Each structure stands twice: as structure tokens, then as C-alpha cells.
A = this chain, B = another copy of it.
């Protein structure tokens, strides 16, 4: 792996720059408790994931779709006997997720500050547009980024289209993110480079088979700070 040619580095946002998946997990726990008189936690978890996958083509990524899926499932799982208080609680939980303060991951600010002296940095994220703009604003990181793109999905085609649009050569492009499926493998596929920095928890939808991951050529780091060791930087 050689990063000498890299001119633009793109960062994923959720669980790469700041904590995100943790809040979804917490909300899933609370959702399961709210419905515990109807089903086991395990079953509720499974059904919620199924419901989200069913609705993903309709709602896309983000908290609002997650809220709508929880409401739909709560009505179905309870055969319509769920109390209005539970549904209101789901709305409250969702609004709390949206309003949650941004928690930066370790060393992110320092790393971006140093990288921004040599590279053009951009953000490539999925999720709700307003949500992601708000988080970036609240993060205090927006000064480091030349461009922010909220993508409806992270496929090789969408990446290629975006790089063309931003006039970035794939050979000069590096993506950094926590999701093998969204931030790493599609980039390898189009001939760009990628660095994987796993977050401690991964949404099942973002998981890929070990085989798919093993075939690809990319670096894995355990903390953003290590980027400063593997990438050429201005001292």
C-alpha cells in the first residue's frame, strides 16, 4: 500500500468522526423493553431489523425511517394492542436521537487538523441530509472540509459518479471509514484506496462476509491517530 499519490481523503461521518451506532443500539434496547409483554427481546430485535430492511428502499437511511419502522412494528407485533403511550415514547426516543449532542471519536480533531495541511478533506456520508448537516455543524469540524456530500447510498457507481463530478482521480483518492461494506469495498472496486477503522459495534446491514473482505486490499487501523503514521503528512 502506497499513499504517496493521494490528494483527497474522504471521511465517512457516523462512527468514523463521531459516535452514532451506539444510540441506535440504545434505542433498540428501549424499544424491546417497551414491547416486552408481547415478545422476547431477541425476537423483537430480529423483527425490527427485518422491518428496517423491508422499508430501506422506501425510507432510505436515517433516524426518521427508523422511527417509522419502530412504529409500524410496534402496531404489528402487538396485533394493534400497543398503547398510545408506547407510540408516543417511540416518537420521543427518535427526537432524542436527532437532538443528541455530537460525541467526537478519539483524536479526530487533531488528526483532521494535521491532515488538512496536506490533503483536500471531504465528508461522504449516508443518512438524513438535515441530520448530517446539523451534526457536522455541531461537531466543530466543518472548517477542515472542502466538501460534504450526503449520499443516498454508497455503491461503487455512486462513488464513481461523485468522483467524476468533483473531478477527483480514483488513483488520488482515499476513503476512511468504519464500514467495510460502505466505506471500503466499493472504493477498492473502483480502483481507489480505503482505510478501515472499525467501530466497536456495526449495524448488521453493514456487515460483509469474511471472504469478501479478505480478498480486498486495504489497511485496517484501530484508531484515527494511526492515520498520521501511515499517511505522508507535512511536519
Which residues from chain A sit less than 8 Å from chain B, CB to CB?
58-61, 64-65, 67-68, 71-72, 75, 78, 80-85, 87-88, 91, 94-95, 98-99, 128-131, 133, 147, 150, 152, 165
Contact = CB atoms under 8 A, between A and B. Distances in A.
8 tightest Cβ-Cβ pairs between the two chains A and B: A60-B130, A80-B84, A64-B64, A130-B152, A75-B84, A129-B129, A133-B152, A129-B152
Given A58-B95, A58-B99, A95-B58, A80 B85 contact: yes
B64 A91 contact: no
Contacts of A165: 147
A82 B88 CA distance: 12
Grouping DSSP codes into helix (H, G, I), strand (E, B) and loop, the A interface class, with mixed when no group exceeds half, is helix
A75 to B, nearest CB: 5
Given A60-B128, A80-B83, A80-B84, A91 B67 contact: no
Contacts of A131: 60
Nearest to A128: B60
A82 B72 CA distance: 15
Given A68-B67, A130-B152, A152-B129, A75 B60 contact: no
A147 B164 CA distance: 12
Contacts of A87: 71, 75, 87
26 contacts: A58-B98, A58-B99, A59-B98, A60-B128, A60-B130, A60-B131, A67-B68, A68-B68, A68-B91, A68-B94, A71-B71, A71-B87, A72-B88, A75-B84, A75-B87, A75-B88, A80-B85, A81-B84, A82-B84, A128-B128, A128-B129, A129-B129, A130-B152, A133-B152, A147-B165, A150-B150
A120 to B, nearest CB: 13
Candidate in A68, A85, A99, A165 with the most chain B CB atoms within 10 angstroms: A68
